[in-house]
């Protein structure tokens, strides 16, 4: 214990009782005589008022000091997320677990999630289109934790995200084109993963899509086996492992593949785009995971990627494909029975490669975005609501963009766009301004030659994270959103 010097206190002078009595008499005689009683009353009243004033000042000062120790918190509410109720309580927190610990706090009730309707399956040439759902309030600065890198096989070309072992955490499947194989990365639930298994595809493979094709509540995988002119189906067991591959013949050199219910029977169907014969193969599924013989529709030249969505709001699933050599995207409107109208081509940039969809301008119509490999750009095509599209709007990217993924990354209820750069070590993130324009752009650094990209919540915090594959480093990169 610290010791402090004690000040010396001098004793006060004292007086005896007779002297005290004499002093009192003199004081009374000199001040409060009957003639001066009114003056005494006034003086006493003034003293009382002064005492009350001093006490009030001290009380107010203490209250101000107490309140100044708790800074004012400003809650930013994005447009489109007006709170439904406001309550005052002594202890409260917002719906996104942002606690306020002042003596009096304000709890603002906002929707716990902001959901934008997207198709059940979205496929890019090399990426994975995932849910655009986000469940946090808007952050002003988009940030990601330092990325984690995991080894893959040779030439990790594409990825798909799904819960492969039924633990309610998003896992990752990566196609290694040169091995050829699919690596299964199971998520611990915190965004870190382990390689659980590697399954052989048997031939050069490029794209993968996930879905429950045989209705056993386990996620299955379908891989485009380009050099074998077939799709390889791997039926999931539910623990991250898969049954023996089943081959499904399609056209020449299938590149992109996606799934959805094209004929409204409640079973997932498949569409594969065939790079060498400029066709798309549609395979209608049965409940046991088998398929009818495929029907074929003509596409543009050297078709590379495919995405499924309802473009004309008739509740029938349509699809769109990128025509690499035609510099177009072809839209196929479905009749609801598994057949489709002839393609409607729309101009894009030079050599469109990847494709995905989202409602970028909040008009409740599904829009299209493509990556344009040779002129290093993306093309946005806004939907008129009837399955036709406006002329493209282009934005520059890094060199040689291959894939694209979309989602609300900064929790402002607007769909953002992520594009990896195949000739560098970064991804470009286009932040949506809210009206379908993308004025804010940021780069996210990863390993070299990023080819495919996907978006999903990997650690269960309600924020959308990013995954990407690096061809050069032969790695899987995981970027956890800390916004």
Side-chain half-sphere exposure of 175, counting CA atoms within 13 A? 33
Q: What is the pLDDT of residues 19-29, one digit of tens each?
A: 443 434 444 44
Among 248, 262, 230, 404, CA closest to 332: 262
What does the pLDDT read at residue 460? Answer: 97
Q: Is 67 in a helix, a strand, or coil?
A: helix
The predicted model gives 130-144 an average pLDDT of 69
Q: What is the pLDDT of residues 243-295, one digit of tens each?
A: 999 999 999 999 999 999 999 999 999 999 999 999 999 999 999 999 998 89
What does the pLDDT read at residue 15? Answer: 41
Judged against a pLDDT cut of 90, whether residue 72 lies above it is answered with: no
Judged against a pLDDT cut of 90, whether residue 4 lies above it is answered with: no
What does the pLDDT read at residue 428? Answer: 97
Q: Domains in the chain, start-ordered, CATH in brackets? A: 153-406 (2.130.10.10)
| 31 Cα distance to chain centroid | 83
The predicted model gives 167-192 an average pLDDT of 98
Average pLDDT taken over every residue of the chain: 82
What does the pLDDT read at residue 55? Answer: 76
The predicted model gives 443-469 an average pLDDT of 97
Judged against a pLDDT cut of 60, whether residue 64 lies above it is answered with: no
Token pair listed for 277: 């014969």
List, in sequence order, the alpha helices (H) in 199-308: none
H or E element in which residue 68 lies = helix 37-68
What does the pLDDT read at residue 294? Answer: 83
Q: How many residues does the chain have?
A: 483
Q: Is 237 in a helix, a strand, or coil?
A: coil
What does the pLDDT read at residue 6? Answer: 34
What does the pLDDT read at residue 63? Answer: 47
- How far is the C-alpha of 333 from the C-alpha of 295, rounded, in Å? 15
What does the pLDDT read at residue 358? Answer: 98
pLDDT higher at 351 or 107: 351
Q: Is 393 in a helix, a strand, or coil?
A: strand
What does the pLDDT read at residue 46? Answer: 83
Q: What is the pLDDT of residues 337-392, one digit of tens each?
A: 999 999 999 999 999 999 999 999 999 999 999 999 999 999 999 999 999 999 99
What does the pLDDT read at residue 139? Answer: 82
- How far is the C-alpha of 403 from the C-alpha of 455, rounded, in Å? 12
The predicted model gives 206-212 an average pLDDT of 98
What does the pLDDT read at residue 206? Answer: 96
Judged against a pLDDT cut of 70, whether residue 97 lies above it is answered with: no
The predicted model gives 318-341 an average pLDDT of 98
Q: What is the pLDDT of residues 48-61, one digit of tens each?
A: 888 887 776 665 45
φ, ψ for residue 145, nearest 5 deg = -70, 155
pLDDT band at 33 (very low <50, low <70, confident <90, very high): low
Judged against a pLDDT cut of 50, whether residue 193 lies above it is answered with: yes
What does the pLDDT read at residue 44? Answer: 82
What does the pLDDT read at residue 40? Answer: 73
Judged against a pLDDT cut of 70, whether residue 74 lies above it is answered with: no
pLDDT band at 213 (very low <50, low <70, confident <90, very high): very high
Q: For residue 475, with 0-12 CB atoms within 10 Å meaning exposed, 13-18 middle and 19 or more buried, which class applies?
A: buried
Q: Point out the least confidently predicted range of 33-42, 293-302, 339-348.
A: 33-42
């Amino acid at each position: 214990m610290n010791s402090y010097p004690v000040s010396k206190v001098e004793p006060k002078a004292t007086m005896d009782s007779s002297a005290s009595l004499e002093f009192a008499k003199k004081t009374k005689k000199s001040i409060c005589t009957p003639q001066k009683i009114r003056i005494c009353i006034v003086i006493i009243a003034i003293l009382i008022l002064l005492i009350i004033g001093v006490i009030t000042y001290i009380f107010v000062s203490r209250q101000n000091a107490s309140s100044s120790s708790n800074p004012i918190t400003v809650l930013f509410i994005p447009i489109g997320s007006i709170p439904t109720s406001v309550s005052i309580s002594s202890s409260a927190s917002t719906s996104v677990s942002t606690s306020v610990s002042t003596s009096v706090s304000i709890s603002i009730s906002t929707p716990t999630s902001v959901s934008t309707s997207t198709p059940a399956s979205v496929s890019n040439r090399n990426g994975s289109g995932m849910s655009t759902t986000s469940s946090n309030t808007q952050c002003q600065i988009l940030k990601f934790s330092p990325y984690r890198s995991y080894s893959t096989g040779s030439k990790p070309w594409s990825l798909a995200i799904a819960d492969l072992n039924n633990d309610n955490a998003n896992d990752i499947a990566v196609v290694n084109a040169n091995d050829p194989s699919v690596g299964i990365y199971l998520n611990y639930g915190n965004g870190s993963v382990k390689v659980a298994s590697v399954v052989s595809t048997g031939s050069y493979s490029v794209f993968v899509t996930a879905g429950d094709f045989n209705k056993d509540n386990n996620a299955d995988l379908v891989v485009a086996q380009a050099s074998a002119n077939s799709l390889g189906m791997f039926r999931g067991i539910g623990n991250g492992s898969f049954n023996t591959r089943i081959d499904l013949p399609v056209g020449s050199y299938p590149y992109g593949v996606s799934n959805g219910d094209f004929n409204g029977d409640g079973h997932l169907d498949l569409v594969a785009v065939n790079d060498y014969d400029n066709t798309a193969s549609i395979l209608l599924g049965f409940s046991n995971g088998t398929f009818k013989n495929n029907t074929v529709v003509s596409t543009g030249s050297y078709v590379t990627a495919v995405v499924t969505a309802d473009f004309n709001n008739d509740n029938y699933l349509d699809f769109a494909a990128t025509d690499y050599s035609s510099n177009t995207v072809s839209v196929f409107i479905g009749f609801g029975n598994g057949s489709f109208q002839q393609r409607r081509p729309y101009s894009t940039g030079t050599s469109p490669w990847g494709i995905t969809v989202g409602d970028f301008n909040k008009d409740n119509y599904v829009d299209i975005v493509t990556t344009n490999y040779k002129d290093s750009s993306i093309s946005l095509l806004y939907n008129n609501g009837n399955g036709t599209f406006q002329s493209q709007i282009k934005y520059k990217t890094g060199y040689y963009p291959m894939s694209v993924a979309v989602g609300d990354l900064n929790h402002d209820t607007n769909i953002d766009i992520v594009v990896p750069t195949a000739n560098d070590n970064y991804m470009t993130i286009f932040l949506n301004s809210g009206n379908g324009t993308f004025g804010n752009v940021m780069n996210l650094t990863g390993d070299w030659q990023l080819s495919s990209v996907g978006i999903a919540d990997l650690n269960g915090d309600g924020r959308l994270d990013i995954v990407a594959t690096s061809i050069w480093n032969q790695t899987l990169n995981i970027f956890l959103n800390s916004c």
